[in-house]
Structure 1
Amino acid sequence: MTMTDVSAVTRARWLAVFSVAVGTFTIVTSEMLPVGLLTSIATDLGVSDGTAGLTMTAPGLVAAISAPVLAITTRRLDRRVMLLGLVALLSVANLAGAFAPNYLVMMAARVLTGVSIGGFWAFAAGLGLRLVPEASVGRATSIILAGVSVASVLGVPLATFISSFAGWRTAFASMGALALALIVLLAVTLPPLPGEPRERGSEPSPARRLSGSLKIVLVLTALIVSGHFAAYTYVRPFLEQVSHAGPAFVSAALLLYGAAGVAGNFVAGAWAARNPRPVLITLALLIALATAALPLVGLPLVMLVVWGLGYGGVGVALQLWILRSGDGEMGTAFFVGVFNVSIALGAFVGGRIVDGVSLPGVMWVGTALALVAVAVTAAFGRTRTA
């Protein structure tokens, strides 16, 4: 193979990495749509803010189940084919949500969204290892997971903007159309990604193959992510009712949060490639600071930037820790499962606190769990090498 051929292959593989990043953006924006549209969805479908928050809980729970199930049952299948099918399902789910006549149909659409989220994450988050040389895996993983932060920068605020002019249903329909375009993009750029070859003899159960390092990562994921979503799912009602912010301020605040998240993603990716442990301690402390300060001192714009810097780096730091553990796609699948259970649990607990206690109460949940994560990470570092 000539140098020109090698260069062309390299460019094609990096284009595939960026295409997968567009996929994570589309997946995460679809999952997070209710965050920016919660008030409108609740009003239109005739439910409380807390009940509307279950549109976050449902896809999280379903994704948590579908990630390991799909990883195990389809491990012989080409990942390219699986990703295309899951994005097609996402398009159907978003369009169904856009035309949902009632809350029950909306929840059914969100269940389909959860299947797509779980499978896509299980296959896509670790693709850096299969698309680029080992020395570039950290950078490729940061790019793929940047879709998470960019979804906060552009996706959620844009959905909020669209909703303010054309209604929340148009925001869902727009995501359905974007998913259709993504199918074409992935079909053109992704190379064949064969599944695992069939092996003879008995294999250990997936749970027994997980390393001790990965199990610690899963605990940290549960703590940080559930605390974050207990608070962040209800950030718009908090800003409107506690900070007395108008629609323009809310959109600007979410935009700043997302921009900080993008910065946090790439800074954490570069730092965590060497050692994820101090990165996660720092990120969790930033989340704790922001969620504690919001109900105490206000400064919503400043604190949302701090929050974005903290949470924006969590996903890439945890994923790079998993890659260091050597657990492969199965490890990522369990990570995705725990991540989405944590989203669901956080949104559910937050909704019960919003309806039964107060809006500021959800911020304290985020603070407490972030601090527990700091303690667990610090204790883990004294006994094992991250």
Structure 2
Amino acid sequence: MAQIEEMTDTVGVSGRTATRGLPGVAAVAGATFTVVTSEMLPVGLLTPIGDALEVTEGTAGLSLTVTGVVGAVSAPLLTPLLGRFDRRTVLCALMAVLAVGNLLAAWSPDFAVMVVARVLVGIGMGGVWAIAAGLAVRLVPPKSTGAATALIFSGIAVASVLGVPAGTYVGELTDWRTAFASAGALALVVLVALAVLLPRLPAEQDVRLGGVVRLFDDARVRTGLAVVALLVTGHFAAYTYVRPVLEAVSGAGAGLIGTLLLVYGVAGVAGNFAAGAGAARSPRSTLLVIGAVLAATVALVPVLGGSVPAAGVLLAVWGLSYGGVSVSTQSWLLAAAPEAREAVSSLFVGVFNGAIALGALAGGLAADGAGVAAVMWLGAGLAAAAVAVTALGRAPSAARG
């Protein structure tokens, strides 16, 4: 609340006030929420999607994998490719692509059409997420930039923890196709909001692909990206298949899955804001705690999650820890390359979504080959590896614990 008050009270240069910029910031936050919700929508719907399209749960999980792969590739490529176009126009076009992808997914008569739909979602998601990272500084005065950036990325954080249970609830009340159609309708609403609330945003930076690639030369950036890759791969190897795990280990019926995921989501929102405060002081220390708690919790799900109440507690702790991953890793990377915020953000989005794809793929192989409980051990091991890299890797000065 204090951050929002600061944004509304501050007067910037050239007569631009944060009050005028706040609606645009909120619209961009709505866009980040919508794209990430769309990306992860299949997580809570794998069982009904697999049944309807006549594929295994592991194969249905590829609907998340393909979106992550496309998002990982499109983010660093679209940023330099679209550098000369007005950002408002680009965002509106990408939201239109996202809407078409979701509506096509809702209609898909077979898994091949679903894959095409999820490719479109990946293009929209990767582009929006990468571009949104650098917009706060252009919408509000300098004093309010931090609060505006936090608000924009809160859309990602909230979607990461609430988008899945929301989609699951819609799927339970109606069916999984309605969940995708609802996401498509939301994308169209956000498109209109962006067109109305954002000012013209001509390109400011000339971001070249070579400049993006050269960021890998910085050991601090490499370490941060490695931590992102390990934490997100581990999380999604396990979380993509959380519904079948809960059904097999805890005996939770379809009616309770949405409630358990909502518990996870609410805890995740709290974790986002708690980690945001800690990451501002020391992203390394914050990530050490996050990784350790995440590894332990995921490993305990097959051991202690044999009842619905126990599973609910474990999911709450899981959400609390993973909810802080995005803001903490973003803080690390922005501190490592403050002079190249848009470029490093595109790398972050690429690695993050590549890790989502890899996690969903690895989890699917583990689920089909060794049973759904095995995905928990895989996720825990990767989170533990992230702790080691966080502790031993090179951090930027602002990220030293």
- TM norm. shorter chain > 0.5: yes
Aligned partners of 2:146, 2:16: CA distance in 1, in Å? 21
User: Given the superposition, is the C-alpha separation of residues 286 and 133 from structure 1 closer, same or farther in structure 2, using an over 3 Å criterion?
Assistant: farther
Distance 1:381 1:45, change over 3 A: same
Q: Deviations over 1:53-75 (max 9, x none)?
A: 00000000001110011011111
CA distance in structure 2 between the aligned counterparts of 1:348 and 1:276, rounded to whole angstroms = 29
If the length of structure 1 is used for normalisation, what is the TM-score? 0.93
Equivalent in the alignment of 1:150: 158
**Matched ranges for 1:61-76 at <5 A:** 61-76=69-84
- Matched residue SS, 1:359: coil
The one-character-per-residue Cα deviations of 1:302-344 (angstroms, maximum 9, x if unpaired) are 1111111111111111112222122311111111111111000
> 2:215 & 2:302 partners in 1: Cα distance?
43
Change (3 A) 1:155 1:4: closer
Equivalenced residues, count: 382
1:304 aligns with 2:312: no
Most deviating of 107-116 and 11-20: 11-20
* TM-score scaled by length of structure 2: 0.90
What does residue 6 of structure 2 align with?
none
* Correspondences of 1:221-260 after superposition (within 5 Å): 221-260=228-267
Match in the other structure for 2:327: 316
Q: Identify the match of residue 192 of structure 1 among 195, 200, 215.
A: 200
Mapped contact 2:80–2:209 kept (Cα < 8 A): no
The 1:266/1:136 distance shift into structure 2, 3 A limit, reads farther
Alignment-derived partner of residue 290 in structure 1: 297
Within the alignment, does 1:82 sit opposite 2:90 as a pair? Answer: yes
| CA-CA distance at 1:217 after TM superposition | 1.0
CA contact (8 A) 1:118 1:336 kept: yes
Distance 1:251 1:384, change over 3 A: same
Comparing 110-119 with 270-279, which one deviates more in the overlay? 270-279
Q: Is the 8 A contact 2:101 2:120 kept in 1?
A: yes
Match of 2:275 in 1: 268
With 203-212 and 67-76 compared, the bigger mean Cα shift is at 203-212
Mapped contact 1:138–1:320 kept (Cα < 8 A)? no
Native 8 Å contact 1:149 1:259 kept in 2: no
User: Which blocks of at least 5 consecutive residues in structure 1 are unaligned?
Assistant: none
Name the CA shift for 1:253/1:152 in 2 (closer, same or farther; >3 Å): farther
| Contact 2:160–2:323 under 8 Å retained in 1 | no
Structure 1 residue 96: deviation in Å? Answer: 0.5
User: Do the aligned partners of 1:12 and 1:189 also contact (CA within 8 Å) in 2?
Assistant: no
Residues 1:341 and 2:354 aligned together:
yes
Relative to 1, partners in 2 of residues 1:198 and 1:134: Cα closer, same or farther, differing over 3 Å? closer
Cα distance, 1:384–1:103 mapped onto 2, change above 3 Å: same
How far, CA to CA, are the matches of 2:45 and 2:209 in structure 1? 46
**What SS does the aligned partner of 1:162 have?**
helix
Distance 1:246 1:67, change over 3 A: same
2:136 counterpart of 1:128:
yes
What SS does structure 2 have at the residue aligned with 1:342? helix
